[in-house]
């Protein structure tokens, strides 16, 4: 047999073997069935805001499926309050008994963020995976007891999972918790073994998750090192329902699909969802359950810094971080001594002052070019945020624009002379970075890695004499520090920035000026370091002088213009990112005034608003406008009744109030506050959950309480002070009908009814 014929015949055999290996690695988790479950949750039931009838229907649906799929025990664990308010919600629980008392929990949250949001990806998809996993595992004989949970209230702060972890009687028998929070298949899958104010999942769980994921034939599993280091150094921040289990000492991990998906918007819908992620997450969960069904290596949580290197998780313990930190500081000191020996004499006639301030001005030029590059495109296209749909391309635009700014700074430096001494710049670079190191270290040891790496690379660039290596080290030194700001999950940050109202001139200057100043200060030590390396290398000085040439500027400008034209031709919005229009209507029952505010994070031009059959189109670039409706505002949505008893004993008056709120529809939220001229309200009592803030005592419902609420309240007042009661009731409907017409637009409607009342003895 010839070599060529062998190759020709062996290829399909090898392909068949690989295909067979991949298919046999999969589980019997059904993507089609999970997709049908998801459709029922997203389309048939719809948005499932915490406390809503839809959430209760979804919880009942999950319990019914758990029972159908073989769970021995099914129920809804209910709760009617949480730390910030009063809301009836719960957790759908299905228990499949095993031979041993060891328990594995599989969870996803079933609620969605707002009344307009289907929550298909976040996290109807996770709940669909949990329910389908119950079908796969429910009829098996397992060693461990498996509990399937669909949590309510995740979007309001992990309310359901926290309630379960704190109140489940056998929590000490739970040896493993697996959470699925978003399972879209369009992109990467992140794993999250961390929690705020807690140790992390043990290393064996991370290793197992990575191994099983790749054994299944899937790709693109990621741990967002930089974002999680920053996020979990805070007391609170983005997280998922595995956190309360970690905080109870249970090994737990969450699997989260790409957060660049338009979660927390109306575009998180069934139409935009890629169902292949259901199979990916479901297979992984089933494999992990199979792997640890017989037991786990250890229940002890651990502390480490984690990074993925070529699909291998590398966990570095705290002592390893300290070694790297100390080594970086020692190398920095050695480099400092070396460059100090080469410094100009203090009495040198060539000494140039104010080099540090000049460098800061150069940094501002560079950052300004990069920061405003997207705004220039937006100005041409007539939109505020042209980058929402293609944010990574605008990062590239900012880099190109910053290079143009850098060239200009180099040219300006010919007139604004800088010191020729590398020590002047290196000293400033390490001082600023050590300050960063200390400040970040106060938040978390893990956050010292980025500034320590910067110090390590900068000092190496000073010590190494090869100009190419020096240049490479100097250019790569800022990358890890930049990853803290432009992290793996920075899309969340920039989409939140897009929501800010900065159209008014003072706000615009304050916001953009603050950003440019902060980023300039953040980048400054690296420009100091780069300048020190250049000043310390005759070869690099020659290269830099060539970069100052007009030819380089022409090339940069041409590239910038061509790329800008490409971005201008790209649509600003698509099926995933569209213009939001918020219609906020308000009726004051005391003053009988009505006000309507229409706003958007984007310009409102080219959108038609139909009011009482009359179309209104805005032509100017504004983001909000107000008007008072003359007629058509339904003011009969709320009725308020009070029974008031008061008794005076000496200079103290005791009030016993029964407040009844009757609404035409279920309200979205209800807030009642009691205040007494900034003083403490004495002996305040109510059977409902309440909290104390700067305004006094607050009783809140989130969301969709009954249309009739009875609220008993008691309090005491000393002297003649009166108590101010303020009631705010918000609906997810419009009392004054407005229809919105426009392409790529979604509407968020709200109507607020306000009443104020005073309780006084006289």
Burial class (CB in 10 A: 0-12, 13-18, 19+), 76: middle
Same domain? For 90 and 120 the reply is yes
Any domain includes 703:
yes
Same domain? For 206 and 323 the reply is no
Looking up residue 308, the CATH number of its domain turns out to be: 3.40.630.10
The pLDDT of residue 4 is 38
Q: What is the mean pLDDT of the chain?
A: 91
- What's the mean pLDDT in 138-159? 95
How many domains does the structure of the chain reveal? 3
Round to whole Å and give the CA distance between 548 and 410: 6
The pLDDT of residue 342 is 81
- What's the mean pLDDT in 302-309? 96
User: CB of 193 within 8 A of CB of 229?
Assistant: no
Same domain? For 355 and 466 the reply is yes
Any domain includes 210:
yes
Any domain includes 5:
no
Span 627-661, pLDDT tens digits: 888 788 999 999 999 999 988 888 888 999 999 99
Same domain? For 589 and 690 the reply is yes
Round to whole Å and give the CA distance between 267 and 508: 28
Angle at 95 between CA 62 and CA 113, to 5 degrees: 35
The pLDDT of residue 619 is 75
Span 360-419, pLDDT tens digits: 999 999 999 999 999 999 999 989 999 888 888 999 999 999 999 999 999 998 888 888
Looking up residue 658, the CATH number of its domain turns out to be: 2.60.40
Burial class (CB in 10 A: 0-12, 13-18, 19+), 526: buried
The pLDDT of residue 761 is 72
pLDDT at 158 over 70: yes
First-last CA distance in the chain: 110
pLDDT at 712 over 80: yes
The pLDDT of residue 17 is 41
Same domain? For 436 and 347 the reply is yes
Closest CA to 386 of 498, 485, 486: 498
Span 62-109, pLDDT tens digits: 999 999 999 999 999 999 988 888 999 999 999 999 999 899 999 999
- What's the mean pLDDT in 451-462? 96
Same domain? For 128 and 138 the reply is yes
The pLDDT of residue 462 is 94
Any domain includes 309:
yes
Any domain includes 24:
no
Same domain? For 302 and 344 the reply is no
Backbone angles phi, psi at 180, to 5 degrees: -115, 110
Any domain includes 301:
yes
Any domain includes 23:
no
Same domain? For 88 and 102 the reply is yes
Domain C-terminal end among 507, 538, 569: 569
Same domain? For 186 and 260 the reply is yes
- What's the mean pLDDT in 512-527? 95
pLDDT at 762 over 90: no
Domain C-terminal end among 534, 569, 604: 569
Same domain? For 413 and 496 the reply is yes
The pLDDT of residue 11 is 42
Question: Quick one: CA dihedral 194, 199, 203, 209, positive or negative?
Answer: negative
Span 467-501, pLDDT tens digits: 999 999 999 999 999 999 999 888 888 888 888 88
Span 9-47, pLDDT tens digits: 444 444 444 444 444 467 899 999 999 999 999 999 999
Q: Cα dist. 590→249, 376, 641, 648, 758 in Å?
A: 52, 47, 14, 28, 12
Span 324-368, pLDDT tens digits: 999 999 999 999 999 998 887 766 656 778 889 999 999 999 999
Same domain? For 309 and 322 the reply is no
Residue whose structure tokens are 């796969």: 136
The pLDDT of residue 349 is 53
Any domain includes 542:
yes
pLDDT band, very low/low/confident/very high, at 520 (cuts 50, 70, 90): very high
Span 422-455, pLDDT tens digits: 999 999 999 999 999 999 999 999 999 999 999 9
The pLDDT of residue 22 is 45
Same domain? For 309 and 325 the reply is no
Span 534-572, pLDDT tens digits: 999 889 989 888 899 999 999 999 999 999 999 999 998
Domain C-terminal end among 316, 338, 364: 316
The pLDDT of residue 9 is 40
The pLDDT of residue 185 is 94
User: CB of 49 within 8 A of CB of 59?
Assistant: no
The pLDDT of residue 355 is 86
Domain that holds residue 87: 29-316
């Amino acid at each position: 047999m010839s070599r060529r014929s062998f190759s020709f015949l062996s290829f399909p055999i090898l392909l068949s073997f690989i295909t067979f290996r991949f298919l046999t690695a999969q589980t019997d988790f059904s993507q089609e069935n999970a997709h049908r479950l998801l459709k029922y949750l997203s389309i048939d039931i719809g948005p499932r805001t915490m406390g809503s009838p839809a959430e209760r229907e979804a919880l009942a649906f999950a319990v019914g499926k758990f029972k159908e799929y073989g769970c021995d025990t099914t129920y809804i664990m209910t709760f009617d309050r949480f730390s910030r308010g009063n809301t009836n919600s719960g957790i759908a629980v299905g228990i499949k008994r095993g031979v041993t008392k060891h328990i594995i929990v599989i969870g996803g949250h079933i609620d969605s963020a707002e009344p307009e949001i289907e929550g298909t990806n976040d996290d109807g998809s996770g709940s669909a995976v949990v329910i389908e996993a119950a079908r796969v595992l429910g009829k098996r004989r397992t060693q461990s007891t498996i509990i399937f949970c669909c949590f309510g209230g995740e979007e309001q702060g992990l309310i359901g999972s926290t309630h379960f972890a704190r109140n489940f009687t056998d929590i000490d028998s739970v040896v493993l918790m697996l959470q699925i929070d978003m399972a879209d298949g369009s992109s990467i899958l992140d794993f999250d073994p961390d929690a705020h104010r807690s140790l992390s999942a043990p290393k064996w769980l991370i290793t197992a998750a990575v191994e099983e994921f790749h054994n299944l034939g899937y790709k693109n599993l990621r741990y967002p090192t930089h974002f999680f280091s920053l996020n979990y150094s805070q007391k609170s921040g983005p997280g998922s329902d595995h956190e309360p289990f970690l905080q109870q000492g249970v090994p737990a991990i969450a699997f989260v699909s790409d957060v660049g998906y338009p979660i927390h918007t109306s575009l998180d819908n069934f139409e935009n969802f890629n169902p292949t992620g259901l199979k990916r997450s479901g297979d992984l969960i089933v494999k992990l359950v199979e792997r640890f069904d017989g037991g786990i290596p250890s229940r002890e949580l651990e502390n480490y810094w984690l990074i993925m290197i070529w699909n291998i998780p590398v966990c570095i313990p705290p002592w390893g971080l300290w070694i790297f930190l100390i080594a970086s500081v020692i190398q920095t000191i050695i480099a400092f001594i070396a460059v100090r020996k080469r410094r100009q004499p203090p009495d040198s006639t060539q000494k140039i002052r104010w080099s540090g301030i000049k460098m800061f001005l150069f940094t501002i030029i560079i950052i300004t070019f990069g920061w405003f590059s997207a705004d220039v495109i937006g100005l041409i296209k007539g939109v505020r945020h042209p980058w929402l749909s293609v944010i990574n391309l605008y990062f590239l635009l900012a880099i190109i624009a910053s290079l143009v700014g850098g060239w200009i700074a180099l040219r300006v430096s010919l007139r604004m002379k800088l010191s020729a001494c590398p020590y002047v710049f290196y000293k400033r670079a390490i001082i600023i970075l050590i300050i960063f190191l200390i400040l970040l270290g106060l938040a978390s040891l893990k956050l010292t890695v980025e500034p320590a790496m910067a110090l390590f690379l900068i000092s190496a660039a000073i010590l190494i004499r090869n100009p190419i290596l020096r240049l490479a080290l100097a250019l790569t030194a800022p990358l890890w520090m930049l990853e803290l700001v432009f992290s793996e999950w920075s899309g969340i940050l920039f989409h939140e920035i897009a929501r800010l109202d900065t159209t008014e001139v003072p706000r615009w200057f304050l916001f953009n000026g603050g950003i440019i100043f902060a980023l300039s200060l953040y980048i400054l030590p690296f420009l100091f370091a780069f300048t020190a390396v250049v000043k310390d290398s005759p070869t690099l000085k020659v290269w830099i002088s060539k970069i100052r040439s007009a030819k380089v500027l022409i090339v940069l400008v041409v590239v910038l213009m061509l790329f800008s034209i490409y971005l201008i031709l790209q649509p600003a919005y698509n099926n995933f990112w569209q213009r939001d229009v918020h219609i906020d209507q308000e009726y004051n029952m005391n003053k009988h005034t009505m006000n309507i505010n229409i706003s958007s994070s984007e310009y409102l031009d080219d959108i038609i608003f139909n009011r009482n059959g009359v179309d209104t189109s805005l032509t100017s670039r504004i983001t909000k406008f107000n008007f008072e409706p003359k007629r058509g505002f339904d003011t009969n949505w709320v009725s308020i009744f009070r029974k008031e008893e008061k008794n005076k004993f000496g200079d103290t008056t005791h009030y016993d109030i029964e407040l009844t709120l009757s609404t035409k529809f279920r309200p979205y939220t209800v807030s009642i506050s009691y205040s007494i001229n900034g003083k403490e309200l004495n002996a305040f009592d109510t059977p409902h959950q309440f909290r104390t803030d700067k305004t006094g005592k607050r009783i809140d419902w989130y969301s969709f309480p009954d249309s009739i609420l009875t609220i008993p309240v008691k309090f005491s007042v000393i002297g003649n002070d009166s108590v101010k009661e303020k009631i705010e009731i918000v609906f997810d409907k419009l009392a004054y009908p407005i229809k919105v017409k426009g392409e790529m637009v979604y509407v968020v409607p709200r109507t607020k009814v306000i009443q104020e009342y005073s309780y006084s003895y006289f």
